[in-house]
Amino acid sequence: MKILSKARISAIGSYVPNKILSNHDLEQIVGTNDEWIVQRTGIQERRIAEDGEFTSDLCVKAARDLESRFHGDLEDVDMIIVCTFTPDYCTPSVSAMVQKELNISHCGTLDVNAACAGFTYGLHLANALISSGLHRKVLVIAAETMSKIIDYTDRTTCVLFGDGAGAVLVEYDQVHPSFISAHLGTEGKDGANLYCTNLSPEMDGMELASTGFLVQNGREVYKWAVNTIPAGVASLMQGSGLCIDEVNWFVPHSSNLRMISAISEKCEVPLERMLNSLVNYGNTSSATIPLALDQGVLDGMIRAGDKVLIYGFGGGLTHCGLLLDWGIGY
């Protein structure tokens, strides 16, 4: 659907922990090898938070990076949205902890859990809050400490995931609004294909492994994503009035390079126009898209006015795509 927008993405920042976990490191702790991981996923290494480093810490560092690079004044932010499914606590929310650390006095705080689609859902909300006139300046941060919920004896999942954070500022702007069209949906009936339990180890009569670790049926998630995302992109483009050739950059969720290639082929977007953060950071869930966007900005690839298609998908099973008129640099 084409959407009303009076909001512009005006700044970006990111942070990844220092500690690197390479494929060769993983060979020492689980029955895997570099060749298998690279061939099946494209991932070479990922970043891992320290034991005492949590999602709120990553969020604050990403926000400070944004603040220092764009001289963005965060004092008048009136809403902080943190997109995560690996919060420090059930409550207080990560966004409330970030508000405290950034010392922003007059703002609302809200955590959004849409797993790997979190960032696109968070941005969609930020646009709605600003375009409706309710808010003026929203800080959206997507951050995950996946390493805290990964079972490092399960080779089918532990090679895929890493930790990281990305932050963007969304501000009221009627002249250069960023949001062109959106498409989103959920396949709740297939939620058991990618889950992490806490209190309730049952879903639709299916008993879920109540270990507190992430569990997935990789093949089913793969099949769902490579069918659902191209259909979503077609709908998104139809609603926008633009054609796919007019999209400068396509940034799908960085889950797996083989999935990205299949999506590229089905959507008829060449890989040269696609950006990912997978090779060096692995799948950082909600953070993959802002990490890839920030690298694109730092490399001088994404510029003001570019049409940027972002598409998050994952646990839930949720998905959300947005077509953007890139706003940083106007």
Ligand X SMILES: CC(C)(COP(=O)(O)OP(=O)(O)OC[C@H]1O[C@@H](n2cnc3c(N)ncnc32)[C@H](O)[C@@H]1OP(=O)(O)O)[C@@H](O)C(=O)NCCC(=O)NCCS
Give catalytic residues, as residue numbers.
Answer: 116, 253, 283
Q: Which amino acid is at 148?
A: K
Q: Which is nearer to ligand X, 116 or 143 (CB)?
A: 116
**Touching ligand X, residues 307-326 (CB under 6 A):** 314
- Least distance (Å) between residue 154 CB and ligand X: 9
The 3 state secondary structure assigned to the chain is CECCCCEEEEEEEEECCCEEEEHHHHHHHCCCCHHHHHHHHCCCEEEECCCCCCHHHHHHHHHHHHHHHHCCCCCCCCEEEEECCCCCCCCCCHHHHHHHHHCCCCCEEEEECCHHHHHHHHHHHHHHHHHCCCCCEEEEEEEEEHHHCCCCCCHHHHCCECEEEEEEEEEECCCCCCEEEEEEEECHHHHHHEECCCCCCEECCEECCCCCCCEECHHHHHHHHHHHHHHHHHHHHHHHCCCHHHCCEEEECCCCHHHHHHHHHHHCCCHHHECCCHHHHCECHHHHHHHHHHHHHHCCCCCCCCEEEEEEEEHHHEEEEEEEECCCCC
Q: Which is nearer to ligand X, 131 or 216 (CB)?
A: 216
- Is residue 221 at the binding interface for ligand X, with CB under 6 A as the rule? yes
- Least distance (Å) between residue 250 CB and ligand X: 17
Choose the stretch contacting ligand X; rule: CB under 6 A; options: 34-42, 64-72, 88-96, 300-308. 34-42
- Choosing from 22, 32, 186, 280, the residue that interacts with ligand X (CB under 6 A) is 32
- Choosing from 5, 10, 41, 84, the residue that interacts with ligand X (CB under 6 A) is 41
Q: Which is nearer to ligand X, 186 or 248 (CB)?
A: 186
- Least distance (Å) between residue 146 CB and ligand X: 10
Choose the stretch contacting ligand X; rule: CB under 6 A; options: 3-11, 130-138, 182-190, 215-223. 215-223
- Is residue 239 at the binding interface for ligand X, with CB under 6 A as the rule? no
- Least distance (Å) between residue 283 CB and ligand X: 6
- Least distance (Å) between residue 290 CB and ligand X: 15
**Stretch 143-182: interaction string toward ligand X, x if CB under 6 A:** ------------xx--x-----------------------
Q: Cα separation of 129 and 79, whole Å?
A: 9
Give the pairing of strands 202-203 and 206-207.
antiparallel
Q: Cα separation of 85 and 288, whole Å?
A: 14
**Touching ligand X, residues 75-134 (CB under 6 A):** 116
- Is residue 222 at the binding interface for ligand X, with CB under 6 A as the rule? yes
- Choosing from 92, 108, 185, 218, the residue that interacts with ligand X (CB under 6 A) is 218
Residue 196 · residue 213 · CB < 8 Å: yes
- Least distance (Å) between residue 212 CB and ligand X: 18
Choose the stretch contacting ligand X; rule: CB under 6 A; options: 57-65, 172-180, 218-226, 262-270. 218-226
Binding site for ligand X (CB under 6 A): 32, 36, 40-41, 116, 155-156, 159, 216, 218-219, 221-222, 255-256, 283, 314
